[in-house]
Structure 1
Amino acid sequence: MGQMHFHVPDAAAGFFHASRWEDAYLCGMEGVPWQTRNVFHPTEASGVAAVDAARDLPAGFRSSASAGGRLTLTRGVDTSAKLLITSPIDRIGFRVLSTCSLRCIDAPHNLVVELARGSCHRVRAQADIWQRGGLSLSDRFDELLATGTERFLDALQPRQKHGVDAHGTGRALADCEAEIQSTRAGIEAISLLEQAAAELSKLFAAQSMAFRRTREPRLSTMMAAGVLPSDVTISRHRTSTRASPGRRDPSAAASSAAANVAANASPGLDDGPETIFSEISQAFNAVAVRISWGEIENASGTPDFASANRILDQCASTGMRVIGGPVIDHRAGMLPDWLALMDNHFDQLMSAMTKFVEATVNEFRGRVHLWNAASGLNVCGPLGLDDEQVMRFSIGVLQTIRRCDPQTPVVMSIDQPCGEYLARHADGISPIHFADALLRSGLGLAGIGLNFRFGYEQGDTQPRTALEFAQLIDRWGTLSAPLLVQLSIPAAPGLDPGARIKTAPVSLAPEMNGQAAAWARQQYDFARPLIETLLAKQIVHAVVWDGASDQLPHVMPHTGVIDSMGAPRPLHAYLAGLRDELLM
């Protein structure tokens, strides 16, 4: 049994208690989390230093907790590890911070100093790698990096002020002052270095995209909107015009798209689905139709393909490419209810799955350009399968699709690709190891899907900066398989009655206060750098936005680029600009 301890100074209490330390975890060099138990032991202190330091935090990050203490993470091994914790970052929001690899020792590590060290190492190392590859850095990045590094060094060696009071406690006062200075410098260093990381990611995306467009003026990347089978039609009407390559600035394209959207937006629920899908077609060049077991076969042995057929017919008439699936979505609420009758009857489950997949693939063969076979089988789900059964089930789905449709490419999708679920319980398979096993199975798997859901209470991926997101995509790229990346980010607070998955959105930025406009802007601000990073990566062949319109049936709460009243959100105008300027 190994324990890793972190000292939380009183001056860092506001920062720490605003962090989501209950969800913090330890991982090794591969990034796979260990199952971790987290305990915080507060110190019995006045907390004056903590309250004073909390004044330096943004209002949305302040906490009433006033005392520091010790954070202890317990796991089954005592090897070195990195700590990952979602914390508030000034001018950025809640993002995952990580330390460098630390030894498992009895003495506590200073939490703020080690997080600042991790940010410093991460941004400096990645800047060096990309610069060696030809990336040109900016003056703003250099300034942020230099200032952030200087503040990190101040956190390591604070300038002590010595003095002796009437009771002769000068050394204690000096030590206390030094700790306060160190903590403040460390928190400031984290903010500056993470801003430098954001600038670095922006430079990489812009310059990589410019280089890619010299060879591919219009990207073949599929930008797909996720839709559920329902009684909707896709209009052929497009209000935007296609620009010639290299003639327009992307911001101008986005502004033009926004003007077109505003002129043609449906103001409310009275407008028909044709208007809704006319707006969707402005922003996407493909549709991810959820031809899923739970949507198609409500009664055992009687699949209903009518709604899915109508959507696919409309996609064919408009020339939009189609991603079919996931055929199996291994989440509560996304599988047929009658499967509960097959509890502990794995052979019957396999037989029912095979019949459904055969019928589905035979029904839509030739009209689907990419099959998404299954998603979420790496996570413990409602079927209660053990590791061996998960592999047999996964291979069974793949074999059935390949047998019925040997020509169409097939991918298998992974939920929570960072593996946060492993930190909470032992059930589940390491995401990257699961994907590697499937690619080695010899079944002709064409690629891997990665499902990122940011900002939800359950089943989410902890929010990453664009830099760490790029590093994560590169790590998955070592499998040498094309990637399909699915994004889900909420644009409104509260429960969503129209969503299949009943989970509450969680704010990714401070001071949201339930304002719909602020949440919609948060969705745009968080998604934009991630999408730009994905489009700059040639290994990413498809990006799926999981939720086209909140007016239509959808899976995740409040994810639509069109809200429940039919008004386009800020992300819609941005995607429309990309569609018009960059994509085929």
Structure 2
Amino acid sequence: MGALRFYAPPIERLSRRFDAAYVVDYDQVPRRSKVQHDGKILSIDFEGDDSVKLRIPWNVDEFQSYFLATCSLRPRTEPYHLALEVARGVLSRLKALIAVCDGADIEQTEAFYAALGEAIEAFTIAATSDHHSEASQIASQECIGHTAEAFAQLTNVYRDAAIDFIQEHAPHRTFLYGVNIRNEHPSADASALLRPAFNTAVVSPVWKDCEPNEGRFDFEKVREQIRWCRSQGMRVVGGPVANLDDLNVPDWLYLWDNDFNSLLGFQLQYVETATRNLHGMTDLWYCSSGVNTTRAFHLTEEQQLRLLVGSIETMRRNDPQTPVLVSFDHPWGDYLSHAHRDLAPIHFAEEIVRANLGVTGVGVELNFNDCEGAIFPRDPFEVIRLLDQWGMLGLPLFVTLTFPSSRRFDKRAAHQISDHESPTFPISRRRQRQFVESLVPLILSHPQTQAIFWNQFTDATAHVYPNAGLFDRRDRPKSTLRSLREIRQHYLT
């Protein structure tokens, strides 16, 4: 076992989710970690004894909270100084990105260089002062804040340069820009707003609706939805089909929780029936999402792989022409820090790609929220680094995305936002819109990304993540929808 020790700010000055911190090795795979704070020292015990990076939720300022990372640190008895190491880590990451931009002749703005200069000056003060002093702590936090501002300035320049490159070298790139309407039929008013915003709809043949009783299937409602999408001029992605989550599986299936072979047989029968009934009606099949974090049933990693492989093979056998996508939840693999699992999400995906099953696209699910099953926010360039890593799989990437607009109780959500008096990160309609405006164009600029799907259409019907829809609980549009429409008009037309 290895251990890192840090002189840390008092608990009330850290993010409330500081206990979600973990360490990663050289290839960014999380190690199983145990976090403790005794009021002065933050301790992280982890598997292995080599150098690692610490990732920890951090309050950048009153408007931004992200997972931030230190540079590589070797285990030692003498504690490090947490704020200083986090500042060193974010400044190092910024300098590495500057080198990339310089190599591509991407010129920066005066505002960027001003923020960079202030970050370096603050870090110099933090590093040369008594590390135990308040001055060093304040300067470290100022360095983190100025670095965040520099990243924000860099985002626009980097995005525009990347999109210009794509338009020059792939001017006819087909990009799917869509929303997951699940099994809902949008109203006439909602349809009028969705049509100019998106060119694709994700239609889910929800298992509990299509096979409410074992062996009795009905896909007419799904066909009606697909016909509606076609009438709106939208492409159709059918799925996720093979999903074992609480909102998807029929009640009768839970009787077979401890009988994997029966569970596998029922799922493959459903995938085959759905594929045959909807054959020729979809542009792509979305086979499965989040199988690597399935919580509704007690499955081993081997069983999860068998379910996914069997579903893909069944789908390809019954429809060999339509492309097949699969996606993975928690793509940073945060859950590995506290779960007895061996496969990181990208290794899970790699197993599927290497098996040559006919998968034509791989997705990452970025469901940011302050609730069970969601992930803590990352800054836009950390998302780009993730896409670079997943791009090494050699397949087109697609991203599913959500972010909440309110902290209030959401009676139709499967999970609820924590009602703790100290929020882990800012949540509001304005923050949801700002999140979209900063991140979505940057994702569009990634050369291997071919699709973005907003993963929750409305808060007015049953859904997983609280307050993360584009329409509120009264089915009224949020300002985020307008921002998504403007992004499409600016970058994709």
TM-score w.r.t. the length of structure 1 is 0.80
Structure 1 segment 56-455 matched on structure 2, within 5 A = 69-90=40-61, 92-158=63-129, 179-215=133-169, 220-230=174-184, 232=185, 273-427=187-341, 429-455=343-369
The answer to whether residue 441 in structure 2 is matched with residue 470 in structure 1 is no
Indicate the residue corresponding to 1:545 in structure 2: 454
**SS state of the match for residue 347, structure 2?**
helix
- Cα deviation digits, residues 364-394 of structure 1 (max 9, x gap): 1111111111111212522211122122111
- Cα deviation digits, residues 457-481 of structure 1 (max 9, x gap): 1112221011111111111111111
**Which range is displaced more, 544-553 or 469-478?**
544-553
Paired residues, what number? 490
The whole-number CA distance in structure 2 between the counterparts of 1:494 and 1:329 is: 28
Structure 2 CA distance for partners of 1:306 and 1:402, relative to 1, 3 Å = same
* Residue in structure 2 matching 1:558, options 458, 463, 467: 467
The whole-number CA distance in structure 2 between the counterparts of 1:14 and 1:417 is: 28
Structure 2: where are the runs of 5+ without partners? none
Indicate the residue corresponding to 1:6 in structure 2: 6
Indicate the residue corresponding to 1:63 in structure 2: none
The whole-number CA distance in structure 2 between the counterparts of 1:552 and 1:275 is: 16
Structure 2 CA distance for partners of 1:365 and 1:392, relative to 1, 3 Å = same
- Cα deviation digits, residues 230-271 of structure 1 (max 9, x gap): 3x25xxxxxxxxxxxxxxxxxxxxxxxxxxxxxxxxxxxxxx
**Which range is displaced more, 283-292 or 120-129?**
283-292
The answer to whether residue 32 in structure 2 is matched with residue 35 in structure 1 is yes
Q: AA paired with 2:485?
A: A
Task: Kindly indicate whether the alpha-carbon contact (under 8 Å) linking 2:286 and 2:325 is maintained by their aligned counterparts in 1.
Answer: yes
Structure 2 CA distance for partners of 1:39 and 1:385, relative to 1, 3 Å = same
The whole-number CA distance in structure 2 between the counterparts of 1:472 and 1:354 is: 32
The whole-number CA distance in structure 1 between the counterparts of 2:103 and 2:62 is: 29
CA shift, 1:21, in A, is 0.9
Task: Kindly indicate whether the alpha-carbon contact (under 8 Å) linking 2:398 and 2:451 is maintained by their aligned counterparts in 1.
Answer: yes
Q: AA paired with 2:174?
A: S
Task: Kindly indicate whether the alpha-carbon contact (under 8 Å) linking 2:436 and 2:484 is maintained by their aligned counterparts in 1.
Answer: no
**SS state of the match for residue 100, structure 2?**
helix
Higher Rg of the two aligned structures: 1
Task: Kindly indicate whether the alpha-carbon contact (under 8 Å) linking 2:33 and 2:45 is maintained by their aligned counterparts in 1.
Answer: yes
- Cα deviation digits, residues 525-563 of structure 1 (max 9, x gap): 112221011110121111010122333444422222222
The whole-number CA distance in structure 1 between the counterparts of 2:27 and 2:436 is: 26
Task: Kindly indicate whether the alpha-carbon contact (under 8 Å) linking 1:276 and 1:549 is maintained by their aligned counterparts in 2.
Answer: no
CA shift, 1:92, in A, is 4.4
Task: Kindly indicate whether the alpha-carbon contact (under 8 Å) linking 1:449 and 1:486 is maintained by their aligned counterparts in 2.
Answer: yes
CA shift, 1:430, in A, is 0.9
**SS state of the match for residue 179, structure 2?**
strand
**Which range is displaced more, 549-558 or 384-393?**
549-558
Indicate the residue corresponding to 1:250 in structure 2: none
Task: Kindly indicate whether the alpha-carbon contact (under 8 Å) linking 1:119 and 1:193 is maintained by their aligned counterparts in 2.
Answer: yes
Task: Kindly indicate whether the alpha-carbon contact (under 8 Å) linking 1:490 and 1:505 is maintained by their aligned counterparts in 2.
Answer: no
Task: Kindly indicate whether the alpha-carbon contact (under 8 Å) linking 1:456 and 1:504 is maintained by their aligned counterparts in 2.
Answer: yes
Task: Kindly indicate whether the alpha-carbon contact (under 8 Å) linking 2:372 and 2:415 is maintained by their aligned counterparts in 1.
Answer: no
CA shift, 1:298, in A, is 2.2
**SS state of the match for residue 365, structure 2?**
strand
The whole-number CA distance in structure 2 between the counterparts of 1:75 and 1:135 is: 40
Structure 1: where are the runs of 5+ without partners? 43-68, 159-174, 234-272, 513-518
Q: AA paired with 2:214?
A: S
Q: AA paired with 1:420?
A: D
The whole-number CA distance in structure 1 between the counterparts of 2:319 and 2:213 is: 25
The whole-number CA distance in structure 2 between the counterparts of 1:460 and 1:130 is: 32
**SS state of the match for residue 18, structure 1?**
coil
Q: AA paired with 1:485?
A: V
CA shift, 1:133, in A, is 1.8
Task: Kindly indicate whether the alpha-carbon contact (under 8 Å) linking 1:85 and 1:96 is maintained by their aligned counterparts in 2.
Answer: yes
Task: Kindly indicate whether the alpha-carbon contact (under 8 Å) linking 2:401 and 2:454 is maintained by their aligned counterparts in 1.
Answer: yes
Indicate the residue corresponding to 2:479 in structure 1: 570
**SS state of the match for residue 193, structure 1?**
helix
**Which range is displaced more, 379-388 or 22-31?**
379-388
The whole-number CA distance in structure 1 between the counterparts of 2:292 and 2:254 is: 20
Task: Kindly indicate whether the alpha-carbon contact (under 8 Å) linking 1:93 and 1:508 is maintained by their aligned counterparts in 2.
Answer: no
* Residue in structure 1 matching 2:445, options 519, 522, 536: 536
Indicate the residue corresponding to 1:503 in structure 2: 416
CA RMSD of aligned residues (A): 2.0
CA shift, 1:78, in A, is 1.4
**Which range is displaced more, 316-325 or 434-443?**
316-325
Structure 2 CA distance for partners of 1:4 and 1:330, relative to 1, 3 Å = farther
Q: AA paired with 1:94?
A: S
Structure 2 CA distance for partners of 1:374 and 1:547, relative to 1, 3 Å = same
More RCO (CA 8 Å, sep 6+): 1
Q: AA paired with 2:478?
A: R
The whole-number CA distance in structure 2 between the counterparts of 1:384 and 1:428 is: 16
Structure 2 CA distance for partners of 1:191 and 1:321, relative to 1, 3 Å = same
The whole-number CA distance in structure 2 between the counterparts of 1:434 and 1:102 is: 28
The whole-number CA distance in structure 2 between the counterparts of 1:337 and 1:580 is: 43
Task: Kindly indicate whether the alpha-carbon contact (under 8 Å) linking 1:312 and 1:367 is maintained by their aligned counterparts in 2.
Answer: yes
The whole-number CA distance in structure 2 between the counterparts of 1:295 and 1:558 is: 23
